[in-house]
Amino acid sequence: MSTLNPADGKLAYDLDRAHVFHSWSAQGALNPFVIAGGAGSTVWDFDGNNYLDFSSQLVNTNLGHQHPAVVDAIKKQADILTTVAPPHANLARGEAAKRIVAKAGGPFNKVFFTNGGADANENAIRMARLTTGRDKVLSTYRSYHGNTGAAIVATGDWRRVPNEFSRGHAHFFGPFLYRSEFWAQSEEQESERALQHLERVIQSEGANGIAAILMETVPGTAGVLVPPAGYLQGVRALCDKYGIVLIFDEVMCGFGRTGEWFAWQGFDVTPDLVTFAKGVNSGYVPAGGVLISESIANAFDSQVFPGGLTYSGHPLAMASIVGAIDAMTDEKVIENAKMIGTDHLAPGLAELAEKHPFIGEARGLGVFWALDLVDDRESRQPVSGGVILQIKKALMARGLLPFAADNRIHVVPPCIVTPAEVAQALVIYDEAFSEVEAAL
């Protein structure tokens, strides 16, 4: 940790409040936390206070903060070539694409690079529409796909409503047994009934006009909703039956988050297109992309693809991807994420849920978990935003940077997190929950 000056922290805060316009916020009420630096699973402020980063920022720093291999890759590329236009070939871009398709396997051999996850989803939708000659896109209500034209309308949560300017979108309910829309009593029932519901939506929306089903393999912002056994295979079968392109959004759940390179690899199912960003390089430089199956890529051998971005495959971003994937491979980061989930987070969070009555459910995979907080377990009524605010304050006071969404605390540390750090975090969660429960 370099020498810290509290005056720099005040300056950073003052400049932010004077000049920075924040996303998804009423600007007048903001009180942003100032981060001075970070390393691994820890960040710190200008007063020298350390915090376990169990938010991974926006669930993207899968390699943690300042991983030396990624930082070094960016520095080396900066000395060689800092920018290049997309039409030109570039070694860093080729190496990044080669690594991504190698980890995906199956029918994937091409990558279209974007600046992030939202425009990856935009371009995947474009590819599906162009190759099918159809227009409509189906996505789930419990989802988030980004804040650009089609991506925000594909999103199912409240942020879609003031932004519904894009055409041809319809929504359906995906499976979520804890808050089932289908009166299900088991995962088997939830899967069967959710698939029946989806087929009826396909038929009712006009199957011959549906280009794509876009869905997060494991919905993240909506609550880390691990699909029940058989559901994704059932969606795949429906897409095949009706000639629909299946797009898996792995922007949040990909690159180690679920303990797999890609979350879909843990469910024995293969999509037609995969969108990614975030964990592909831990967000060190903005980057995203679309993994394209051979059949769809071949459709553009003679047909022009009408899409592009000035910074598609930007050399610094590509170098960071190469550095990140190599580090994750060499250091067995994917294996660590799976072990942490199975051996530490799963039992630790289950113990917390047993102890604290307002934890209605703990669910997840790898380093991708959510605690669903309720007023009481019988009604499953979500706790209020005020309770979540109290919990966030209690966690911060004890040195843990949380990720909160609606009535949930998401437990999403970097994939490199250690058992000792998880143990420390579990103690902090326990203490914070006890404090808030006592106050209530």
pLDDT of residue 1 exceeding 60? no
pLDDT tens, residue by residue, 172-229: 999 999 999 999 999 999 999 999 999 999 999 999 999 999 999 999 999 999 999 9
Give Cβ neighbours of residue 434 (< 8 Å, ≥ 6 apart): 356
> What stretches of 252-380 show up as alpha helix (H) in DSSP?
294-298, 315-330, 333-340, 346-355
pLDDT digits (tens, 9 = 90+) for 366-419: 999 999 999 999 999 999 999 999 999 999 999 999 999 999 999 999 999 999
Residues above pLDDT 70, as percent of the chain? 100
SS3 of residue 139 by DSSP: strand
Q: Determine the Cα–Cα distance for residues 44 and 106; give it in Å rounded to an integer.
A: 42
pLDDT class for 153, splitting at 50, 70, 90? confident
Tell me if 382 sits within 8 A of 373, measured CB to CB: yes
Strand runs labelled E in 168-305:
169-172, 210-216, 245-249, 273-276, 288-293
Answer for the pair 400, 434: CB distance below 8 angstroms, yes or no: no
Asked if residue 96 has pLDDT above 90, the reply is yes
CATH entry, 79-330, from 3.40.640.10, 3.30.1360.120, 3.40.1190.20, 1.10.1380.10: 3.40.640.10
C-alpha 26/C-alpha 49 separation (Å) is 28
Structure-token match 């549906």, residue found: 210
Query: Where residue 164 falls among pLDDT bands split at 50, 70, 90?
Result: confident
The pLDDT value given to residue 280: 98
Q: Could you tell me how far CA 57 lies from the centroid of its own chain?
A: 11
Report the 10 Å Cβ neighbour count for 397.
12
What would the two tokens of residue 351 be?
């113990």
Cα-Cα-Cα-Cα dihedral sign, residues 75, 114, 36, 13: positive
Across the range 18-43, mean pLDDT stands at 96
Domain positions in the chain: 79-330
Q: 349 φ, ψ to 5°? A: -75, -35
Rounded mean pLDDT of the chain? 97
The distance of Cα 150 from the centroid of its chain, to the nearest Å, equals 18
Residues 239 and 252: their CA atoms lie apart, in Å, by 23
Q: What is the pLDDT of residue 244?
A: 98
